[in-house]
Amino acid sequence: MPESKCPVRFMAVIMYFLLLAITKPTYSQAMTEAEADSTAREIIKKMSLKEKVFEMHGHGVVRFGLSVMFSKNIKPVAAGGNKHFNIPPTVFLDGPRGVSLTKGTTAFPVTMARGASWDIELEERVGEAMAEEIRALKANYSGAVCMNLLRHPAWGRAQETYGEDPHHVGEMAAALVRGIQKHNVQACVKHFAANSMENNRFGGSMNMDERTLREVYLPHFKKVIQHGKAASVMSAYNKLNGEYCGHSKILLTDILRNDWGFKGYVTSDWQNGLLDTKKGIEAGMNIEMPASNFYSIKNIKRLLQKGEISEQQIDDLILPILSTKILFASRRDEQAYPKSLVGCRAHTDLAREVAEKSAVLLKNENNFLPLDRGKVKRIAVIGSLANVKETGDHGSSRVYPRYIISPLEGIKNYFAGTKVEILTAPVDDTIAVKEICKNADAVIIVAGTTYMDEGEYIGNGTIRDRKNPDKKNFITRTCILGVGGDREYLHLHPKDIDIIHAASAVNKNIAVILVAGSAITVEEWLTEVPAIMETFYNGMEGGNALARILFGEVNPSGKLPFTVPKSETDLPAFDSYASNADYGYYHGYTLFDKAKKAARYPFGFGLSYTSFEIGKLKLTGRNSNNGLTISATDSVRVSVTVKNTGIRSGEETVQLYIAFPESKIDRPVKLLRGFNKVYLQPGEEREVSFVVPASELAWFNTENKSWVVEKGNYEVMIGNSSLDEKMLRHGFEIAN
């Protein structure tokens, strides 16, 4: 680094450690929400305008930038903080797949992989591990909870969310929030709202009617706010129905606070998430990140002097900031947070466990998998990603773990010390591929996408050209960060398809391992291989996990959190550069159900090395008539038995859907309303129970702005996927 910059960096580091000293101040006792609110109100009365405004924006951007440029140990951006009033700053560390941009942290499988686990308890444990590392790094604010709906699998940031269904996304995200906040780290849920295209995220408008917004694109956020008790929300870059989300009073005040009762604070997405001081204040935007481009003391004083805003509005904005920070800072820690927690063995073991429980077995003809370790002597491990160390994209969620185990390395580790021969071949040499594959006992082909194909599209950081809103080159791929954006197609790259063709021409004992953030279509080569498994970006221990699954040490139990189509034309329209994108009421499995389209692999699908039987469906209700009729304010209680009918232990995810056979309004054929993952030994049987409130079956009436539970007949459907041919069914009625 040039000598002239050293003093700047030195001062930045000094400021950083001073900041950390006040991150977790001491309070005499843990406060209730009411006590924290009262304390914050008293503090606000004593604060100067400058002190108030300081709570409304991020700072330390120079320090952050220097750390990103010259090291892999990020110096996080903070917001607010007042030592005199014993108020900590919020010290932010991202990441959906682990604490990002900080050397040595644990790289977990991406959020989509964890969504495929359908394991709420496991996701809560991941949240705890992330929070422990955040606290060990002296921060207190996590941006890990990315939960936008996967409307289309080409979305570049698909890997950062849980899937296509609002109920599933909400349950998984709420678990992550609970885990994070157990360690007094404030969880930030993002991006609010309707953010599911990447190339047009800086200003593209996501347009939909209010019913679609309320029923499809907001329920998961509502669940995390009301049941997960998330401390913070991050607004989205994009527009909703022509208005920037960071300027939307409808989103940030009317819905978030007035309808849902949110008590925490809202931050803007970083850089270009807020574009107007007055509009942000009027909408209810609490904190501008990462700096004071608009929420500066100069801008706010000017608006106050002109009478365009009042100081009461400023007080109202900082009240939830202060009360939330005081509430979390007052809570007792149940453990210490030494630096040794960062990337510790317990966390890397958890990363491997998650990778093992999230892999989805899509095809397994004649029980080709698991491979018999005692019989396999020559293994070909090929494909463009066979020996690539990747954990996902290179955007804000990127993690820098101490090591990454590639698929090839994992298989080599598994056979270390044995005489098993592991063979590989160049990606672009089909002759060499045929040569090594023709005598192999098994062929493992690893193929899919990388950060060059999909990911957060930072580009050059500019927003859409307002004079030419349909211009397609407003963001370029020339950014030094080299990030991807939305995917150009859903099938494998031609070179990978060529490898599959070449290998299958000489050997039929092939398993294709798919690596991607979401769906990959398989039509070009589906019939040529007996086994297909999707592992997503499966974290730093992914290669070791893959080997254990392939050779039967672990029974795969993942289920698809999205629909895999036969053709991209079966999906909603997707123009990743469109200045206006119209979002319909249907997507994913609800679209396939309604249009009676056949998916290649349906939502919720996933095979196992064992077999399960679901039976003995029972329905009861507290105010019931023979267990079949409930009121609109009650719940239907459902139970089934699950039995492992195979010879291996394993896990099955029981999925509960509700159908609307007699609805007088347009509704999906069915909607997911419950899931439960259960582990069973061979021959073991267990009862699995669900409680479905009638309120969860309501639709939003746009005429009177209310949720309506329709009277009439409904149907419970329970199976192991959204299209389980053996799905159990039982009707019930909602009456007065």
pLDDT at 12: 42
SS (H, E, C) 476-488: CCCCCCCCCECCC
Compute the average pLDDT of residues 63-71.
74
In the DSSP assignment, the letter for residue 30 is P
Q: What percent of the chain has a predicted confidence (pLDDT) above 90? A: 85
Write the pLDDT tens digit of every residue in 369-423.
999 999 999 999 999 999 999 999 998 899 999 999 999 999 999 999 999 999 9
- Which CATH number describes the domain made up of 350-452+488-561? 3.40.50.1700
Are β-strands 186-192 and 141-146 bridged in parallel, bridged antiparallel, or unpaired? parallel
pLDDT at 466: 55
CATH 3.40.50.1700 in the chain is located at 350-452+488-561
Q: How confident is the model at residue 470 (pLDDT cuts 50, 70, 90)?
A: low
**C-alpha 95 chain-centroid distance:** 10
Report how far residue 442's alpha carbon sits from residue 547's, in angstroms, rounded to the nearest whole number.
13
DSSP letters along 119-139, please?
-HHHHHHHHHHHHHHHHHTT-
Classify domain 32-341 at the CATH topology level: TIM Barrel (3.20.20)
Within 10 A of 417 (CB to CB), how many other CB atoms are there?
A: 5
pLDDT at 14: 45
* CA separation, residue 325 to residues 25, 318, 330, 430 (Å): 10, 11, 8, 59
pLDDT at 626: 55
Q: Both tokens of residue 534?
A: 């999707």
Classify domain 612-735 at the CATH topology level: Immunoglobulin-like (2.60.40)
Within 10 A of 394 (CB to CB), how many other CB atoms are there?
A: 18
SS3 assignment, position 432: helix
Q: Which residues, 6 or more positions from 4, have their beta carbon under 8 angstroms from its beta carbon? A: none
First vs last C-alpha separation in the chain:
73
Look at 202-206, 215-219, 254-258, 586-590 and tell me which has the smallest mean pLDDT.
202-206
* Residues pairing with 320 in the sheet: none
Write the pLDDT tens digit of every residue in 479-528.
445 567 899 999 999 999 999 999 999 999 999 999 999 999 999 999 99
Compute the average pLDDT of residues 34-59.
97
Q: Select the more confidently predicted residue: 460 or 325.
A: 325
Look at 128-132, 159-163, 577-581, 690-694 and tell me which has the smallest mean pLDDT.
577-581
Report how far residue 697's alpha carbon sits from residue 312's, in angstroms, rounded to the nearest whole number.
40
Report how far residue 135's alpha carbon sits from residue 185's, in angstroms, rounded to the nearest whole number.
7
* Average per-residue pLDDT for the chain: 92
pLDDT at 199: 86
Does residue 550 surpass a pLDDT of 80?
yes
Q: How confident is the model at residue 458 (pLDDT cuts 50, 70, 90)?
A: low
Write the pLDDT tens digit of every residue in 689-732.
999 999 999 999 999 999 999 999 999 999 999 999 999 999 99
Report how far residue 311's alpha carbon sits from residue 35's, in angstroms, rounded to the nearest whole number.
23
Compute the average pLDDT of residues 636-652.
97
Report how far residue 373's alpha carbon sits from residue 397's, in angstroms, rounded to the nearest whole number.
37
Closest CA to 552 of 276, 343, 299, 368: 368
Report how far residue 353's alpha carbon sits from residue 347's, in angstroms, rounded to the nearest whole number.
10
What's the predicted TM-score (pTM) here? 0.94
Does residue 18 surpass a pLDDT of 60?
no
pLDDT at 66: 77
CATH 2.60.40.10 in the chain is located at 612-735
**C-alpha 390 chain-centroid distance:** 18
Q: What percent of the chain has a predicted confidence (pLDDT) above 70? A: 92
DSSP letters along 384-419, please?
TTTT----S-SSTT--B-S----HHHHHHHHTTTS-
CATH 3.20.20.300 in the chain is located at 32-341
Q: Which residues, 6 or more positions from 715, have their beta carbon under 8 angstroms from its beta carbon? A: 658, 659, 660, 661, 729, 730, 731, 732
Q: Which residues, 6 or more positions from 590, have their beta carbon under 8 angstroms from its beta carbon? A: 668, 669, 671
Write the pLDDT tens digit of every residue in 179-189.
999 999 999 99
Per-position b or e across 37-66, b if 16+ CB within 10 A of its CB: bebbeebbeebeeebbbbbbbbbbeebbeb
pLDDT at 503: 98
Closest CA to 571 of 553, 555, 584: 584
Report how far residue 284's alpha carbon sits from residue 313's, in angstroms, rounded to the nearest whole number.
9
Are β-strands 186-192 and 243-244 bridged in parallel, bridged antiparallel, or unpaired? unpaired
Q: Select the more confidently predicted residue: 485 or 261.
A: 261
Report how far residue 542's alpha carbon sits from residue 357's, in angstroms, rounded to the nearest whole number.
11
Closest CA to 379 of 407, 410, 411: 411
